[in-house]
Structure 1
Amino acid sequence: MHKMFAEIYGKVDGANAGMAGSQDISYPSKNFFSGAILAGAVSIAVGTAISLQMRDQQQVVFAGFGESATDEGVFWESLNYAGLKKLPIIFVCENNNYSVFSPQSKRQGGSGISERARAFGVKSKAIFGNDVALVHEGLSQAVLDARSGSGPFLLEAFTSRWCGHYGPDSDDLVGYRIPGELSFWKQNCPILLLEKTLKVNDGLFEKSKKTIISQIDDEIKSSFDFAKTSSFPSLSRWETMNFSSESPLADKFLLDYDITQFDEKQDVIQQKGY
């Protein structure tokens, strides 16, 4: 958490030395990878799953995204390839219904995302995403299937966001939500639902509740303090992280080619089949 918070603050002690920020943060040592905006990480996840399959490893890839990512063609291309090759990957769609202000019904026609996934040979299931136990159960079964060689799985978890797309303030004044919609989701907050479940199934929960909350609060505060006191990266470090000081292959081709002779034209090439 310390490195994650520091990265979001753009500090040198972050997971990516403050260069990636919240959009592209990655942490390879913990097997966490990200990519370009909106659905870009899905194709990276598929590539990671290919490498695991080729090495015959029992690891499984999780690709998390919002339903807006399924507006992009790369998502369905990735899903198709994962289904074709039976890759060990689990697609987790956090469906909060909105892409900024646009509801899913205004952006996508036909059936739901989980139903469409089956057309690509991908097993899928739609669940109430605010039920932590239900999500855990669904993911656990998906992991077993993926490790057994059954191929990919897509879990569509329906939930909602309380704040605006950009946060942290509410954007209710915009008027794009259905009246009363947010009240339902707040009454079914995943943390409150989990607390109710623990009270019923764990007789010691009430005694340990304060300790658990205190430990979580301390961990969050410690991460904030770490990020705030960390330094910003120096300009020289920024240049090192973003530019290669040596480019032998590129230099070779550039030296072999006279750029003054370039006329922006290319000879006709007859394409041949594979």
Structure 2
Amino acid sequence: MLTTLLIFLVMGTVAGLIAGMFGVGGGVIIVPALVYVFSLQGISADVLTHLAVGSSLAVITVTAISSVLAHHRNGFVQWHVFRVMLPGLVFGVVGGVMVAVNIPGHILQWTMGCFLIVVALQMRLALVPTREEGNLPGAPVLLGGAGVTGIISALFGVGGGTITVPFLTFFGMRMQQAVATSAACGLPLAVFGATSNIVAGWQTPGLPDYALGYVYLPAVIGIAVASAPAAKVGAQIAKNLSDTKLKRIFAIFLAMIGASMIAKATGIF
């Protein structure tokens, strides 16, 4: 048990740094890592991936608070954009959870891996060119993008930054502002997503002890304890990096995680 707790603490530190730097909530690290750890614990394959997704969203609730406060102090959060996107985020994530619980775990893993690689290619190679800085779309487009973000967050247990950051930078928002605004969007996604996973997974057969629906409390506590302070450090690192460097690091990171998810889903390792 002690070894498992130490693993959760290390995961929390890495996830917190990533959340602060990239505004992605840390789920792209937490979900693959939890899938691996849960499989070693002998948790049923029928609930393993869904448990990882729900637990990740619960952790992101804590991580996002710390990350948002740090980015707000740096002056990068675009609150007027957040307010427009909020309804789409909430409806998207609640609906997405209802869909996710009916999808087999290995399909979720494979789909998430492909999604992360596509996003990484867009960020690194600019397959779809970005627009001029400051040329943000109107409310309908922002709401639509927020709805898609909510669905993806629910399916893959991520804070939404993997879609929100590229979405906002495509429309010309500076990388630091996009990361900070994405972190703000991640908080309602995590709160409503985690709550929906608790309800959807309540009394599901095969869940381990100390699980509330699809949220595993030992993992949430261990990861959250380490992730909150690490998120502050990550936000400070992001503040001191240029847009170009931040995009490059973000793209490489996403591609590596995406490839590992595909390999896991297809049984390569």
Same fold (TM over 0.5): no
Q: Which protein, 1 or 2, shows the higher relative CO under an 8 Å CA cutoff with sep ≥ 6?
A: 2
Into which bin does the TM-score normalised by the smaller protein fall? under 0.3
Higher-helix-fraction structure:
2
Name the structure where strand makes up a greater proportion of residues.
1
TM-score w.r.t. structure 1 length?
A: 0.23
Q: What TM-score do you get using the length of structure 2 for normalisation? A: 0.23
